[in-house]
Structure 1
Amino acid sequence: MDLSDKVAVVTGSGRGLGLGYARSLAAAGAAVVINDVDAEAADAAVKQISAAGGRAVAEVVPVGTTSAAEALVARAVDSFGRLDVMVTNAGVLRDKVLWKMTDEDFDTVVQVHLRGTFTCVRAAVARMREQGEGGRIIVAGSPAGQLGNFGQTNYAAAKAGVAAMVRTWAMELARAGITANAVIPVAATAMTKTIPAFAPHIEALEQDGTAFPDSLRKGEGFGTVEDVAGLVTFLASNASADVNGQCIGIGGDKLSLWSHPQEVSVAYADGGWSADTIAAAWPVTVGRTPQTFGIPAPRL
């Protein structure tokens, strides 16, 4: 991939998946704006990319607000003259079961994941449309947003909203040559290290470089940050010009395409449905194919 003519913003890229995305984009030639709320992490990321021969600058700001989004776009334009790729990766977690989740827990996660994606993409699209040369919108989704997940009302709702926005933007931006897609990553990060089934494997990787077994890489589609980053670089490239409005999963040795929600079973009744007729018909019509919910527990 040759991205030497591209300029990208990657939110939440001081560490973890975001840093992996930024490093991959820079290695392919793109100039990158690193973003994080931690100035030291952002500066370290810039130094790391620069030391490898890449081009990078930092913008330290918490995503969510319009002013933050506009600052990120301005940083790209002021430093490199344009903006071609917006990667919205920044995120936080405030996991609690529903009856213990506070307003602040809910609002904080939605502010960063959902509103942050909206404001950053809106600001980026304004610049891309002004340039008139198309562009790439790449947002971070999650299996939780596709399936739901215990203790993650806020996070699952935000990520489901991100997927819906991508499908909407794919229609709205097509005429401008701007594509919008979501990456659904599964990788070893500080977040996934809290999952008991994954924790010992991640610790072994960190301590002595022990590779993940096939039960993880293939069975669970779970790998390293580097395993995921290539998808972002592909979606930023000209090779992905025909990929639009998709939610694409990646992790370990697994690449997948998530389906758009659709009707799977239908029944009709002349004159419409009452509560009684639904109760009678449910078990022998649409109720015969109930859909699953929740992320399956790892089977190792």
Structure 2
Amino acid sequence: MGICTDRSVIITGAGGGLGRAHALALAAEGASVLVNDINRDAAAAVVAEIDAAGGRAIANSDDITSMTGAHAIVEAAATSFGDVHAVVNNAGVLRDRMFASLSEEDWDLVIKVHLKGHFCITSTLVQRWRAQVKENGQKVDARIINTTSGAGLQGSIGQSNYAAAKGGIATLTLVQAAELGRYGITANALAPAARTAMTETVFADVMKKPDDGFDHFAPENVSPLVVWLCSAQSAGVSGRVFEADGGRISVADGWRTGPARDKGARWAPDEVGAAVEQILAEATPPQKVYGS
């Protein structure tokens, strides 16, 4: 008996990289898994691996960025497994450019896949879970696991579209947790540091697989946290952003009100500079933007 036995999970972008690792780890812990990926052959290959290991999974290639596609994904999981207990929003895409060279198409695609992709599938599931609560009169035990990034938490040179989307996802997670707890739905996010198709070209030298010893950037290192967040054991944890980096799990300490000066009246413009100087002298400096 694994910690996700009798639970079913939808994972987006699960044909390779982190999504594949999550799917295999969840199935190994007893979950029934819908493997969603735009590359249907890749999704089918992951399902074949799960089947061969004695797990239960189905492949799906519907579009996560439309409500029509999201409904089809949820319906496929519910029909095959009887219910859906968790979603791991993992799918992503990169169109890296310096901000001055970023096109409208580069911006729109990245925001659509990451931010709207998180919205469509999760909104569809939340409607389903809320209806179950109203029908049964008791809370569900449901999980939303979103994927943000260090780029979304600290920023990243050459990735303003990606950083904006991932920052939006982190904040979205906080709001979901605050609004949906009444139904028994938790929402958490993770910022993984792992070798995937999206990172291996940008950070190829840093993230290359070692010849021996612990493979720090193996995507499989992130999956145990995802499995636990999908399980019933994580019911008391919501509204958190975790970072997973090799063998380290940390919780991100996000935006909060820091040092202040309160005049008790309207500031004159020529008074503001001195107040800001005092505030910044007391404040903890922000982490540096990646690449700066």
Uncovered stretches (5+) of structure 1, i.e. residues with no partner: 218-222
1:59-138 alignment runs, 5 A limit: 59-132=60-133, 133-138=140-145
SS at match of 2:34: strand
Q: Distance in 2 between matches of 1:69 and 1:36?
A: 12
Instruction: Report the CA distance between 1:251 and its aligned residue.
Output: 1.6
1:235-257 superposed Cα distances (whole Å, 9 cap, x missing partner): 01111010000001112111100
Measure how far apart 1:194 and its partner are. 2.5
Q: Which of 161, 165, 173 is the aligned partner of 1:154?
A: 161
TM-score normalized by the length of structure 2: 0.92
1:212 to partner: Cα distance: 4.5
Give how far 1:193 is off: 1.7
What's the offset of the Cα at 1:29? 0.6
Quick one: distance in 1 between partners of 2:224 and 2:3?
A: 13
Matched-pair contact (CA < 8 Å) for 1:181–1:247: yes
Report the counterpart of residue 267 of structure 2 in structure 1.
Answer: 273
Give me the whole-angstrom Cα distance separating, in 2, the residues matched to 1:295 and 1:54.
41
Q: Secondary structure at the match of 1:138?
A: strand
Q: Equivalents in 2 of 1:75, 1:25: separation in Å?
A: 18
- Following the alignment from structure 2 to structure 1, what is the Cα–Cα distance between the partners of residues 99 and 145? 30
Residue aligning to 1:236 = 230
**207, 211, 214: which is aligned to 2:213?**
211
Q: Secondary structure at the match of 2:151?
A: helix
Superposition deviation, residue 120 in structure 1: 0.8
Q: Specify the code of the residue in structure 1 equivalent to 2:47.
A: V
Question: What code does the residue aligned with 1:153 have?
Answer: S
1:170 correspondence with 2:171: no
Matched-pair contact (CA < 8 Å) for 1:266–1:286: no
User: 1:220 corresponds to which residue?
Assistant: none
Distance in 1 (alpha carbons) for counterparts of 2:290 and 2:91 = 25
Amino acid paired to 2:270:
D
Deviations 1:183-206 (A, max 9, x none): 11111222222245x52651x44x
C-alpha displacement of 1:296: 4.6
1:30·1:55 contact (CA, 8 Å) conserved in 2? yes
Q: Distance in 2 between matches of 1:169 and 1:152?
A: 25
Which residue matches 2:149? 142
Task: Give the drift of 1:171.
Answer: 1.3
Q: Which amino acid aligns with 2:257?
A: E
Secondary structure in structure 2 of the residue aligned to 1:14: coil
Q: How does 1:214-225 map to 2 (within 5 A)?
A: 217=216, 223-225=217-219
What is the aligned-residue RMSD (CA, Å)? 1.9
- Measured in 2, the distance between the counterparts of 1:41 and 1:5 equals 25
| Contact map agreement 2:154 2:290 (CA 8 A) in 1 | no
Distance 2:24 2:256 in 1: 37
Q: 1:258 aligns with which of 229, 232, 252?
A: 252
Paired residues in the alignment total: 285
- Distance in 2 separating the partners of 1:67 and 1:201: 37
Larger mean Cα displacement after TM superposition, 46-55 or 59-68: 59-68
Q: Is the 8 A contact 2:141 2:232 kept in 1?
A: no
- The normalised TM-score by structure 1 is 0.89
Alignment CA distance shift 1:180-1:285 (3 Å):
closer
Equivalent residues in 2 for 1:37-48, closer than 5 Å: 37-48=38-49
Say whether the 8 Å CA contact 2:63–2:70 is kept in structure 1: no
SS of residue in 1 equivalent to 2:96: coil
Please report how far the alpha carbon of residue 81 of structure 1 lies from its aligned counterpart in structure 2 after TM superposition. 1.1
- Provide the identity percentage: 38
| Post-superposition CA distance 1:44-102 (Å, at most 9, x none) | 11101111111010111232111111111011011111110111100000010111100
